Copies of this chain bind each other. A is one copy, B any other.
């Protein structure tokens, strides 16, 4: 039967086919993470985003029409209404709120004077959560220390009944690492000084700016230590105060603040979606936070993040793209006072938290994006590499696999949700973060568009991934 000949011929073809397939496999090492169509869409998204002003207009609208919106304030409520309205206007699906209880701290005007050796009045901001001084204020001699280690090294009783001035200056870095190193005095300095008998704390703002605008930010009182008032001075004034200490004369200060805690309030996270198709039950989170500090109007912290994530979803919609997984834009309540918004969101999920297969967060200013980092299992690193290649026109740096995303994704990350981190450039971020200067003037429209482009490509390809995003269950994910 001719069948044997046919069979032999077929097996030769089969053998050649196997070789060809093997060749393809060794070029990509694995199955392709993304289809050609998805990569082409990613490129269209990138080009569209680079020319799209949606994000900028959203930040303008949020800062102009709502303005400051600290947790629990009237601005907080107005921001929620704004988020719902704008998501509906942009045509997002399943627009809804997820309630959250938030702390409500009244940040009242505060006063700071040097009484001796040379009287001077300097602008201050109370640290977030600070108790007040009583209306009569607090007058005391002052002790200057660089940081917490220097405070701990003082002889016993050295700061008793004194005001402690922490003088350490934050270092400027692109990745924000200078903030991480410097911020401990703000968070725990007040309790550390209170535990040693101090009556007040003044810190050099956690700031890289030479502007005479103090930076606030949350403190964390220890439950078992005396709560003492804590204020921040701008860098120029901290320099001037150091010069007063350099006189070697006693430095006497007066502080006054009526800041105080009020009862917690109801607030809400605001969510809206681009619905998925075959993997609709899997959620890709695009997060930013809706609350802000109130000296400024929250343009870079985190109006820009809000603009970026909403701008991404709008660009995907505008191009008529249908993601495989659901892309959920999530505007978190109360990032600044302990991320109770994102915690409430995670609690609300129950077992549905497992459906959150990938997260991206924008909470580090208005860009540009300079790096793509991640926090994924080893099996998914090739997909991240391919997303990085899709971002080639933006000339990013390939970051490591220790990306954190941001504070509001911490809860989901602890549950194993992988993270993609288009890293926003933080070089100038700490010039204006948590100050009156957090206004639209700090938002560069081109940098913001570039950031939307980087997030759009990352989120879109994250939603289209042909593999399955693996839960990251190791405390430290694999290094690249």
Instruction: Say yes or no: A64 contacts B236, CB within 8 Å.
Output: no
Which residue on B lies nearest to A114, using beta carbons?
Answer: B67
Q: Is the beta-carbon distance between A118 and B67 smaller than 8 angstroms?
A: yes
Question: For residue A65, which residues in chain B have a CB less than 8 angstroms away from its CB?
Answer: 118
Inter-chain contact A440/B212, CB cutoff 8 Å: no
* Chain B contacts for A93, CB-based, 8 A: none
Give the segment of A217-225, A237-245, A264-272 that binds chain B.
A237-245
Is A259 on the interface with B (CB-CB < 8 A)?
no
User: How distant is A53 from chain B, measured CB to nearest CB, in Å?
Assistant: 14
Q: Establish whether residues A441 and B236, one from each chain, have CB atoms under 8 Å apart when the complex forms.
A: yes
User: How far does the Cβ of A125 sit from chain B's closest Cβ, in whole Å?
Assistant: 13
- The CA-CA distance from A212 to B67 in the complex, in Å, is 14
Kindly provide the distance from the CB of A189 to the nearest chain B CB, expressed in whole angstroms.
Answer: 23
Q: How far is the CA of A123 from the CA of B213 in the complex (A)?
A: 12
A60 to B240, CA, bound (A): 9
Our pick among B211, B237, B240, B440 for the contact of A239 (Cβ within 8 Å) is B440
Question: Please, could you name 28 A-B residue pairs with CB atoms under 8 Å apart, sorted by A?
Answer: A60-B243, A63-B240, A64-B120, A64-B240, A64-B243, A64-B244, A65-B118, A67-B119, A67-B120, A120-B297, A123-B436, A210-B441, A210-B442, A211-B213, A212-B213, A212-B296, A212-B435, A212-B437, A212-B441, A213-B436, A235-B441, A236-B439, A236-B441, A237-B439, A239-B441, A240-B297, A240-B439, A240-B440
Q: Given the complex, which residues of B lie within 8 Å of A243, measured CB to CB?
A: 60, 64
**Most B Cβ at <10 Å: residue of A212, A243, A244:** A212
Among B118, B119, B120, B436, contact of A212 (Cβ-Cβ < 8 Å): B436
The chain B residue sitting closest to A65, CB to CB, is B118
A 204-237 to B, binary, CB cutoff 8 A, 1 in contact else 0: 0000001111000000000000000000000111
Residues of B within 8 A of A239 (CB): 440-441
C-alpha spacing A151/B68, complex, angstroms = 32
Task: Return A15 CB to nearest CB of chain B, in Å.
Answer: 69
Pairwise interchain contact B211-A440, C-beta atoms closer than 8 A: no
CB contacts (< 8 Å) of A296 on chain B: these are 212
A118 proximity list for chain B (CB < 8 A): 64-67
A74 to B112, CA, bound (A): 18
49-78 of chain A: CB within 8 A of chain B: 60, 63-67
Interface of chain A residues 331 through 386 with chain B (CB within 8 A): none
* Docked complex Cα distance between A123 and B109 (Å): 12
In the complex, A296→B64 CA distance in Å?
Answer: 28
When C-beta atoms are compared, the residue in chain B nearest to A246 turns out to be B64
Q: Which residues of B sit under 8 angstroms from A441, Cβ to Cβ? A: 210-212, 235-236, 239
A237, B213: Cα distance in complex, Å: 15
Instruction: Give the chain B neighbours of A63 by CB distance below 8 A.
Output: 240
Q: Which 4 A-B pairs have the closest CB atoms?
A: A210-B441, A236-B439, A236-B441, A64-B243
A440: B residues at CB distance < 8 A: 236, 239-240
- A120→B66 CA distance, assembly (Å): 8
- For the complex, what is the distance from the CA of A244 to the CA of B63, rounded to whole Å? 11
Name the B residues within 8 Å of A60 (CB-CB). Answer: 243
Known: A440-B236, A440-B240. A213 touches B213 (CB 8 A): yes
In whole Å, how far is A296's beta carbon from the nearest beta carbon of chain B?
7
**For the complex, what is the distance from the CA of A297 to the CA of B296, rounded to whole Å?**
23
Complex Cα distance, B412 from A385, in Å, reads: 73
Q: Please determine whether B212 and A439 come into contact, CB atoms closer than 8 angstroms.
A: yes
Q: Once bound together, how far apart are the Cα atoms of A440 and B240, in whole Å? A: 8
Q: Contact string, A93-124, partner B, CB cutoff 8 A, digits 1/0?
A: 00000000000000000000000001110010
CB A121 to nearest CB in B, in angstroms, measures 8
A60–B247 Cα gap in the complex (Å)? Answer: 12
Bound form: Cα–Cα A123–B212 in Å: 14
Residue in chain B with minimal CB distance to A436: B212
Residues of B within 8 A of A66 (CB): 118
Contacts of A244 in B (CB 8 A): 64
Interface residues of A in 282-329 (CB under 8 A from B): 296-297
Q: Which of A120, A235, A244, A296 neighbours the largest number of chain B CB atoms within 10 Å of its CB? A: A120
Q: Nearest residue in B to A123 (C-beta to C-beta)? A: B436
